[in-house]
């Protein structure tokens, strides 16, 4: 029997900060089955009991070795078959960037991909992370379909940011970064938002320093990708642009499978 799933993904830019900015109002109103968070910037022992054990949900956390940096978490109503945050690879494990949960119809990867904007060394790390993550999901895909969500830190096409020409040489819109998303698509991974929305001026991140959100000068860098086997089950995908509290907006996905 098919189950209806409602999922959300949000780079919260600090889970302790977002808790004070109405996070649980959004969380409870959304009636989500699964919520993936990125850039949590915390270890579990630093968090309130409500953040770790919200009523009706299990939570899974992956934290960077360095405190106050990176980190991911997933809240889930349905107990997964298993959860994993360590993959035996220092590139994938050291900064708390991945939570994997297995459910009957799919594997869910919640991921905070590296930012490559702080220099050549960090860009190289980002590209290596991309390649290793791709190999990881391809290995799991042999067993069942894949959903992965999170802050990919790259806008795919010119339509996905306000000023593409001015950012051709900026990390987040470099050709080499965009080609990795091209590879995903060629291998049968689908950007679910583009199944429903073909137009521009649809963004998920805005620079806070320049108050870019007020003018909707942004980038779409937060995604739900699915492997093609799940395409027929997708019902909707969206960006919650009116939800405040972070420099990112939540993104969502609904499917029945």
Annotated binding site: 11, 39, 151, 153, 247-248
SS3 for 67?
coil
At residue 235, the 3 state secondary structure works out as strand
Of 175, 150, 162, 155, whose CA–CA distance to 220 is shortest? Answer: 155
Give the residue ranges of the annotated binding site for Mg(2+).
11, 39, 151, 153, 247-248
Helix (H, G, I), strand (E, B) or coil at 257: coil
State the catalytic residues: 112, 151, 248
CB burial of residue 159 (10 Å; 0-12, 13-18, 19+): middle
Asked if 7 and 149 touch (Cβ cutoff 8 Å), the reply is yes
The Cα angle at residue 150 between residues 103 and 233, in degrees rounded to 5: 45
């Amino acid at each position: 029997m098919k189950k209806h799933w409602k999922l959300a993904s949000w780079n919260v830019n600090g889970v302790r900060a977002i808790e004070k900015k109405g996070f649980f109002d959004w969380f409870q109103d959304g009636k989500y089955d699964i919520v993936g968070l990125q850039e949590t910037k915390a270890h579990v022992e630093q968090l309130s009991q409500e953040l770790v054990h919200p009523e009706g949900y299990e939570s899974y956390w992956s934290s960077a070795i360095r405190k106050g940096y990176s980190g991911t978490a997933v809240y889930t109503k349905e107990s997964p078959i298993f959860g994993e945050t360590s993959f035996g690879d220092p590139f994938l494990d050291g900064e708390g960037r991945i939570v994997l949960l297995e459910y009957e119809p799919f594997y869910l990867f919640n991921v905070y991909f590296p930012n490559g904007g702080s220099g050549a060394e960090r860009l190289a790390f980002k590209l290596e992370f991309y390649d290793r993550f791709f190999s990881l999901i391809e290995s799991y895909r042999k067993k069942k379909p894949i959903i992965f969500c999170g802050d990919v830190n790259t806008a795919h096409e010119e339509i996905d940011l306000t000023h593409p020409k001015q950012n051709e040489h900026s990390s987040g819109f470099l050709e080499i970064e965009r080609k990795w998303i091209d590879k995903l698509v060629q291998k049968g991974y689908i950007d679910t938002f583009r199944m429903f929305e073909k137009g521009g001026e649809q963004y998920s991140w805005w620079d806070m320093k320049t108050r870019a959100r007020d003018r909707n000068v942004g980038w779409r860098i937060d995604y739900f990708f699915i492997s093609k086997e799940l395409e027929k089950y997708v019902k909707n995908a969206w960006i919650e642009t009116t939800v405040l509290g972070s420099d990112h907006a939540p993104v969502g996905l609904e499917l029945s499978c």
